[in-house]
Amino acid sequence: MSKEALENFPDLSKHHSFMKQHMTKEIYAAYYGQKTNNGVTLDHCIQTGIDDPTLDVGMVAGDAESYTKFKDVFFPVVKSYHNGYDPSKDTHPLPDVLDPDAIPDTPLDDKYIISSRMRIGRSIGDFAFAPSCTRRQRREVERIATEALKGLTGEIKGEYHPISGMTPEEEEKLISDHYLFAKPASDFMRNAGMGRDWPDSRGIYYNEGKTFLVWVNEEDHLRIVSMQKGADFKAVFTRFCQGVNQMRKQLKAAGHNFQSSPSLGYLCTCPTNLGTSLRCSVHIKLTKLCEDPRFKDIVKKLRLDKRGTGGEYRASAGPDIFDLSNLDRLGKTESELVQLVYNAVKLLIEMEKRLEAGKSIDDLVPK
Ligand code: ADP
Ligand code: MG
């Protein structure tokens, strides 16, 4: 082990992340000085985890190659986060086109569900990801993305709006209406370097009803989003599939692919988003159930993630309103994950109704 590598080993004594768990001096030293083709080092990938000891994962990828170049850390981290999925032997399904027919037609109850949203992240070309890209790469991503977006047709036809061209009021309105991402404010994003050069090359595309949106150069090169008020999963997923399929086709025609690998699926900045990178979420009001001491455990058992409705690291609209979404993204298809959220949310609503009627939910609580 080189003396210089050991002298640079980070102090992780107060950390509890998966990165800390799987990072040894031997691994760190073995990778010391190694770089991907984009110049990304292991230190770049773990910087955000070092700077914030409270993080659960503790690392991001600077580019697609980071995942394999530094795989002795990334693979065990992926396995720990993704419920035992093992990238050294498991494979992720990568369907060529997404098929909305797999989802049930029956909307869930919109007395409880305020809105539904599905998003994926995608990386294009061989450009580095947000934590490590150069200004030129970020601008190229925007150029390629906006060219492709011009080709979208039908319900998802819309326009691209660079953030640099918005007034502060326009920007704030889009953020508070849940459409647009904000300048990175969380320690996680800032420490990873994702706020560099803000707002250069960042922007949003949306259709007239703002039910289909594409974020350019936030945490991932692209975030493709379908959302609407209420609980009609089928409508949201149908538009989502249309958007992803059309975007892929347009990019392909211009000679660009979504970055993917058979074992890790679609490759995004955050290891939590590998696989489908799908987050299917509802904003849901569960006034009675959230008072039940088992609520947190029920949500976890249903493989759901609970956030504030203002977005990750932000507050909720009310004490009984939550953003619930699939915890898993890797090893299953997009349709399977949407179905999983549908079933889980259906069960939560059933529990809420029982509690409203003063009845027990004991038989509904997952073991
Ligand atoms: P992600 O990074 O998965 O896209 P964030 O937690 O960063 O999600 O949230 C991004 C934005 O999307 C926030 O404004 C959030 O309120 C909004 N959002 C997420 N889910 C929903 C939903 N089901 N309905 C309405 N807005 C949503
Ligand atoms: Mg986010």
Strands (E) located in the chain = 113-122, 158-162, 203-207, 212-216, 222-229, 260-261, 265-266, 279-285, 304-307, 321-326
CA 355 to chain centre: 33
| Same-domain status, 44 and 155 | no
| Same-domain status, 20 and 169 | no
Residue where one domain finishes, among candidates 52, 81, 110: 81
Is residue 362 one of the residues assigned to a domain? no
pLDDT higher than threshold 80 for residue 14: yes
- Whether cis (ω within 30° of 0) applies to the bond prior to 100 is no
- Check if 202 is active-site: no
Quickly list DSSP for 303-346: TEEEE-TT-TTS--SSTTEEEEEES--SSS-HHHHHHHHHHHHH
In residues, how long is the chain? Answer: 367
| Same-domain status, 267 and 335 | yes
| Same-domain status, 69 and 167 | no
Ligand 1 within 6 A of CB of 352? no
| Same-domain status, 62 and 207 | no
Is residue 161 one of the residues assigned to a domain? yes
- For residue 1, how far is its CA from the centre of ligand 1 (angstroms)? 45
The boundaries of the domain holding residue 77 are: 3-81
**pLDDT at 3 (0 to 100):** 94
**pLDDT at 216 (0 to 100):** 98
**pLDDT at 298 (0 to 100):** 97
- For residue 189, how far is its CA from the centre of ligand 2 (angstroms)? 9
CA-CA distance, 93 to 179, in Å (whole number)?
29
| Same-domain status, 57 and 115 | no
| Same-domain status, 253 and 290 | yes
Domains in the chain, number: 2
**pLDDT at 217 (0 to 100):** 98
Q: By the 8 A CB rule, do 331 and 92 touch?
A: yes
- Check if 272 is active-site: yes
Residue where one domain finishes, among candidates 29, 50, 81: 81
| Same-domain status, 233 and 352 | yes
Ligand 1 within 6 A of CB of 117? yes
Q: How confident is the model at residue 101 (pLDDT cuts 50, 70, 90)?
A: confident
- Check if 279 is active-site: yes
**pLDDT at 107 (0 to 100):** 87
Which CATH number covers residue 133? 3.30.590.10
Is residue 86 one of the residues assigned to a domain? no
Ligand 1 within 6 A of CB of 309? yes
Residue where one domain finishes, among candidates 81, 113, 144: 81
pLDDT higher than threshold 70 for residue 313: no
Is residue 87 one of the residues assigned to a domain? no
- For residue 321, how far is its CA from the centre of ligand 1 (angstroms)? 13
Q: How confident is the model at residue 9 (pLDDT cuts 50, 70, 90)?
A: very high
Average of per-residue pLDDT values in the chain: 96
**pLDDT at 314 (0 to 100):** 67
CA distances from 176 to 14, 168, 309, 314, 315 (A): 35, 12, 11, 11, 12
Is residue 363 one of the residues assigned to a domain? no
Which tens digits make up the pLDDT trace of 20-74? 999 999 999 999 999 999 999 999 999 999 999 999 999 999 999 999 999 999 9
Is residue 154 one of the residues assigned to a domain? yes
Considering every ligand atom shown, identify the ligand nearest to the alpha carbon of residue 279 and give its number: 1
- Average pLDDT score over residue span 305-322: 81
Q: Which ligand 1 atom minimizes the distance to the CA of 117?
A: 23
CA-CA distance, 180 to 210, in Å (whole number)?
10
Which tens digits make up the pLDDT trace of 230-262? 999 999 999 999 999 999 999 999 999 999 999
| Same-domain status, 72 and 145 | no
The dihedral sign for the CA sequence 79, 84, 87, 89:
positive
| Same-domain status, 73 and 137 | no
- Check if 303 is active-site: no
Closest CA to 272 of 115, 95, 100, 48: 48
Is residue 367 one of the residues assigned to a domain? no
Residue 127, classified by CB atoms within 10 Å of its CB into exposed (0-12), middle (13-18) or buried (19+), is: buried
- Check if 190 is active-site: no
- Range with the poorest average pLDDT among 135-149, 277-291, 315-329: 315-329
Residues 6+ apart with CB under 8 A from 96: none
**pLDDT at 26 (0 to 100):** 97
Neighbouring C-beta atoms of residue 37, cutoff 10 Å: 11
Which CATH number covers residue 28? 1.10.135.10
Residue 267, classified by CB atoms within 10 Å of its CB into exposed (0-12), middle (13-18) or buried (19+), is: buried
Q: How confident is the model at residue 80 (pLDDT cuts 50, 70, 90)?
A: very high
Q: Residue 229, SS3?
A: strand
| Same-domain status, 302 and 176 | yes
- Check if 294 is active-site: no
The residue whose C-alpha atom lies closest to atom 9 belonging to ligand 1 is: 311
pTM: 0.96
Is residue 304 one of the residues assigned to a domain? yes
CA 54 to chain centre: 19
**pLDDT at 336 (0 to 100):** 93
- Average pLDDT score over residue span 356-363: 97
**pLDDT at 1 (0 to 100):** 80
Ligand 1 within 6 A of CB of 283? yes
Which tens digits make up the pLDDT trace of 335-354? 999 999 999 999 999 999 99
The residues pairing with 215 across neighbouring beta strands, listed in sequence order, are 204, 223
| Same-domain status, 72 and 107 | no
